[in-house]
Every structure is written in structure tokens, then in C-alpha cells.
Amino acid sequence: MKPVEILLVEDNEGDIILTTEALEEGKINNSISVVKDGWEAVQFLEKKNGYEGAVTPDLILLDINLPKLNGHEVLNHIKSNPDLTHIPVVMLTTSSSEVDVMKSYKNHANCYITKPVDVNNFLDVISKIESFWISIVQLPTNIKSR
């Protein structure tokens, strides 16, 4: 079985380490790519500027508070691009603002999760994301974009 390709768009080094370690410790075969700002995420997804060999992700974990382009701008780009719109996007952010939640769903986020502050709770959330989005949900495949 081929690994599930996950793109983590996150600028906080601590959250990157926690998320990647939690995903790597899971029982599910996955491959994780990390980009640290919104512009880099767009370049990765469009396979430009050094990302020509990037694999189209099966799932995107997207923070809102990012440099260069924020998560809402990246989400809007993903969901307005016919080659990317099928990719599920999980907004994974510290913001619990109702404005951010509403804006994310209006831009067709697949779900919105506020990151817990406690490390153990954070690891539990990542484990549940992995369990649901990789073990339970049938992810779309787009052979053309791979």
C-alpha cells in the first residue's frame, strides 16, 4: 500500500516537530512534507520554484497564521484551483476566532481544529486526525496530478 501523502503548512517549529513525530509514530503508512509559509505552500502545490518533483498531497494540514500568505489565502487558492480542489484541507490553528472558523468553512475547508495548548492533548488531536482522515475516510485520488 502506498503511503498517504500529507502536506503540513506550519511556521511554528515546535508544532512542526510535534505534528511530524505524532504522524510518524502512528500505525499508518504516510509521507510528510513540510512548508513554513503560505507562499511556499502555493509553490509546492503548483510544483514550481524548486518543487517540480513534489508529490500532490492526499491531505493538507494548514495553519492560518502564516508569513507571506495566510492560511485563508492558501485555502482560497487550493479550493479555486481545479487541479487541487479535491484535496481535503484540515485547518489546524491556534485561532478559535469565530471569524476564522466561518471564513475557513466559507472557503470550503473540510474541517477546522483549534490546536490544544497542552502537549499531550495536541498529540491526541494529531492522532485522531490521522485516524479519521487516513484510516476511516476514503481520500480521493487524482492520477493526473500525481
Domain-embedded: residue 145? no
Supply the pLDDT for residue 36.
97
pLDDT higher than threshold 80 for residue 45: yes
- Which pLDDT tens digit goes with each residue over 51-79? 999 999 999 999 999 999 999 999 999 99
Residue 63: domain span: 4-135
Domain-embedded: residue 142? no
Supply the pLDDT for residue 1.
57
Phi (first) and psi of residue 18, to 5 degrees: -60, -45
- Give how many domains the chain has, as a whole number: 1
Domain-embedded: residue 125? yes
What is the pTM (predicted TM-score) of this model?
0.90
**b/e code 7-25 from CB counts within 10 Å (16+ = b):** bbbbbeeebbebbbebbee
User: Are 38 and 80 contacting, i.e. CB atoms less than 8 angstroms apart?
Assistant: no
Domain-embedded: residue 107? yes
Domain-embedded: residue 143? no
Instruction: CATH number of the domain at 125, please.
Output: 3.40.50.2300
Supply the pLDDT for residue 27.
67
Work out the average pLDDT over 68-91: 96
Give the ranges where the chain is alpha helix by DSSP (H): 13-25, 38-46, 71-80, 98-106, 119-130
Domain-embedded: residue 141? no
